[in-house]
Amino acid sequence: MNVDCNTYSSNSNTVRDALCFFLDEEMGHKLGFVQYPQNYDNMTKNNIYGNSLHVINEVEMGGMDSLGGPLYVGTGCFHRREILCGRRFTKEYQEDWNGGIKGRIQDTSIDEIEEKAKSLATCTSEHDTQWGDEIGLKYNCPMEDVITGLAIHCRGWESVYNNTTRPAFMGLGPTTLAQTLLQHKRWSEGSFSIFLSKYCPFLFGHGKTKLRHQMSYCIYGLWAPNSLPTLYYVIIPSLALLKGIPLFPKITSPRIAPFIYAFCVKNMYSLYEALSCGGTLKGWWNGQRMWLVKRITSFLFGAIDIVRKLLGLSKMTFAVTPKVSSEDESKRYEQEIMEFGSSTPEYVIIATIGLFWLI
């Protein structure tokens, strides 16, 4: 089992449920890991920063469960020990729950175990080994959890998604706008770097996983480049309006019908998803607003950073999202007042686009 440092268990049946999946007579031998949803216990009623993952947890991850299993999200997950050691799935595989462990314990003394533990605790124990490549979590990527899960699926294993009524694990979500943008920049940057690497789901998973499963991985891998059409959407129509250039048919023209239909259906379906997953009307509106903000800031900077790294102009870094806020920030968050905090380059884009719309 692994969880984030700011995550705690909120369901005492979690371990038992995971073991039930692994011990299932029909599908247990196929499972590499059991993934629980990532939930936050500090979300406000109307989700002011759009950080609630309810739609992703209920809709997207649940959909992946029917294609071969959800991706590994880095927390709230139970792994079969052998898959982290590089084992490939075979139809003849049967888990030996007792023999292997007992044999190792009997053949090894306490002193030997202690000496091995000391060597493993050093910073150089993994040098010149298969750790980070064939064994353990994948290295050298901000989203090592996603790559690890993809590699497990490509070795023939499946995963299962267990979204219980009572949340299995609860963590802390960002409470300021700056924290939110930083977290989504890291997520989009890491996912896009996977898409452009040898671990691209279409390349790495070719012939190993279903095409639909590969496509479901790419939902998140294409977050960053999605910033470009979004920038076009927020800038070009305004420029066309200033210049008097018609981009769409007149409202009285029958040709406007497809545009109205697409606009209404998209928003109605999005609203239905939000409400069916326990959200509110205002929460849905906040989510729509924040997705636009994230696309023109976090996703854009994530795409730029990946291009700079590919050109050798910068090196990969891992930005940890701070989850600690001052008393005043926490109070404003509980009152659902947006907290801008310290200045960041992302705010320049938000302010520029806002002023551009006013003009």
Q: Which residues pair with 40 in a beta bridge?
A: 171
Q: What is the pLDDT along the chain (359 residues), one digit of tens a residue?
A: 888 888 999 999 999 999 999 999 888 889 999 999 999 998 989 989 988 888 999 999 989 988 989 999 989 999 988 888 888 888 776 665 555 555 555 566 788 888 878 777 777 776 766 666 666 677 767 788 899 999 999 999 999 999 999 999 999 888 889 889 999 999 999 999 999 988 899 999 999 999 999 999 999 999 999 999 999 999 998 888 888 888 888 888 899 999 999 999 999 999 999 999 989 999 999 999 999 999 999 999 999 999 998 888 877 666 666 666 778 888 888 888 888 777 788 888 888 888 888 77
Phi–psi pair at 131, nearest 5 degrees: -65, 135
Q: How far apart are CA 255 and CA 265, in angstroms?
A: 17
pLDDT value at residue 168? 93
pLDDT value at residue 104? 53
Nearest to 321 by CA among 110, 51, 135: 51
pLDDT value at residue 326? 77
Q: Which amino acid is at 82?
A: E
Nearest to 44 by CA among 320, 282, 269: 282
DSSP reduced 3-state for 218: helix
pTM of structure: 0.84
pLDDT value at residue 93? 67
The 10 Å Cβ neighbour count of residue 55 is: 18
Q: Is 61 within 8 Å of 47 (Cβ atoms)?
A: no
Q: Which helix (H) or strand (E) holds 262?
A: helix 257-276
148 token code pair: 């690890």
Q: How far apart are CA 50 and CA 46, in angstroms?
A: 9
Q: How far is CA 223 from CA 153, 228, 251, in A?
A: 22, 10, 32
The 10 Å Cβ neighbour count of residue 232 is: 10
Q: Which amino acid is at 131?
A: W
